[in-house]
Amino acid sequence: MKTVVEVKNVYKLFGNNSQKLLQQVKKSKLSKEKVLKETGHTIGLKNINLSVNEGEIFVVMGLSGSGKSTLIRCINRIIEPTEGEIYINGENILKMNNKQLTNLRRNKISMVFQSFALLPHKTVLDNVAFGLELQSVKKEIRRQRAQETLDIVNLGGYAHSMPSELSGGMQQRVGLARALCTSPEILLMDEAFSALDPLIRSEMQDELINIHHSMKKTIIFITHDLDEALKIGDRIAIMKDGEIVQIGTPEDILKGPANDYVKDFVQNVNRAKVITASNIMKRKEYLTLPKEGLRTAIKKMQDASISSLFVVNKDKMLKGIVTIDKAVKLIKEKKDNIEEIIDININTVSPDTKIEDIMPMFLNCPFPVAVTDNGKFLGIVFKSAVINGIIGGAQ
């Protein structure tokens, strides 16, 4: 996996004497509050270390004032860190001169703001094309590219509207299109959806996920909402008072909150939207044909105290399911061709299917759900595992 952004030992102190004070802050364990009281300096970032992989959505989450914006602004050097290193594609951006920085901001990194920050006197199309204008791309080409990007965010028909004629959600789509139009490698989004009302916000999250799937951009996304973080993040960094308290996948964070601060966030989360089939599936209970047959099937079901068993072929492709009742009946009839009783009416899901989408499958089908990848059997989700997953118990 390629690392696109790497932040190493980064500190940011706000105040007149930050360089001098930094050594003190590093040595002592003084809290942010105390440092402010005693020195008038604010700890913005304290020993931040993280790396963002190519193509991932990396979410930075934390309460107001925890340092999220400071961190993201250091990454495009709108803010100068007091100390540390920040690499983009292996290049230390803190060593770049102005020309290199302008180049970086025009070509590699785009930012989407909470406040949309559109140019009010330019049309939607010209707003989207603005980054290309800065790159001196010819008018026709930039208009064409801007139109294509507007189509991607479903605003193709609004090219000639003015920003003030659009709703908040639409304006934020324009903001997103503007950021995407220069085809940057990295997208920085600072609370980009926080000003939108919940329904529109949820739509924008879905749209971002879709765009991410098709364009594979590296995205650093800031939010103070854990539900949003869990929904869109491949990994999440949780910040408190300028420090990172935990970095992990949504599952890591739900299953093992690093401290009480994270635990407080996690308590109010809807687990059904986060836990996936791969987190709760069992892998052992299945039957492989032709190497195993009817009698093995019955023994396996008895040993595991289950009433049905998935059947796969030697390449592990899923064939269906057999039940203990039918298996016993077949034996009683002195037959042993298990193929006769394989039921193909089963529910299958991919490993990343969320519990909330698996739950309804148990309503109209008595069998467990098979987890497959292109037909290949990976594991089983039992109803009990789904229930445990939701209440956060043992799995």
The binding site for ligand ATP (CB under 6 A) comprises: 14, 42, 44, 62, 64-70, 224
- When CB distances are held under 5 to 8 angstroms depending on the partner's kind, the choice from Mg ion, ligand ATP, none that residue 164 binds is none
In the complex with ligand ATP, which residue's Cβ is closer, 33 or 336?
33
Q: How far is the CB of 292 from ligand ATP (least distance, A)?
A: 57
Considering only CA atoms, which of 110, 51, 43, 111 is closest in space to residue 83? 43
Please give the Cα distance from 285 to 305 (Å, whole number).
Answer: 10
In the complex, the smallest distance separating the C-beta of residue 200 from Mg ion, rounded to whole angstroms, is 20
Residue 62 binding: pick among Mg ion, ligand ATP, none (C-beta 5-8 Å cut-off by kind): ligand ATP
Q: How far is the CB of 154 from ligand ATP (least distance, A)?
A: 28
> Which one, 80 or 303, has the nearer CB to ligand ATP?
80
Shorter beta-carbon distance to ligand ATP: residue 68 or 201: 68
Whichever of 126 and 190 has its CB closer to Mg ion, that residue is 190
The residue from 69, 76, 110, 218 that contacts Mg ion (CB under 5 A) is 69
Number of residues that bind Mg ion (CB under 5 A): 1
Rounded least distance, CB 146 to ligand ATP, Å? 29
Query: Of the listed pieces 64-72, 286-294, 323-331, 375-383, which binds Mg ion according to CB under 5 A?
Result: 64-72
> What's the rounded Cα separation, in Å, for the pair 242 and 33?
11
Q: Please state the closest distance from residue 388 (CB atom) to Mg ion, in A.
A: 37
Number of Cβ within 10 Å of residue 40's Cβ equals 12
Residue 142 touches which of Mg ion, ligand ATP, none (Cβ within 5-8 Å per kind): none
Contact in structure between 298 and 331 (CB atoms under 8 Å): yes
Residue 224 binding partner per list ligand ATP, Mg ion, none, with a CB distance cut-off of 5 to 8 Å that depends on partner kind: ligand ATP
Are the CB atoms for 84 and 9 separated by under 8 Å? yes
* Nearest distance in Å: CB 69, ligand ATP: 3
Residue closer to ligand ATP by CB (options 14, 113) is: 14
- Classify residue 194 by burial, with Cβ atoms within 10 Å: 0-12, 13-18, 19+: middle
Interface residue list for Mg ion (CB under 5 A): 69
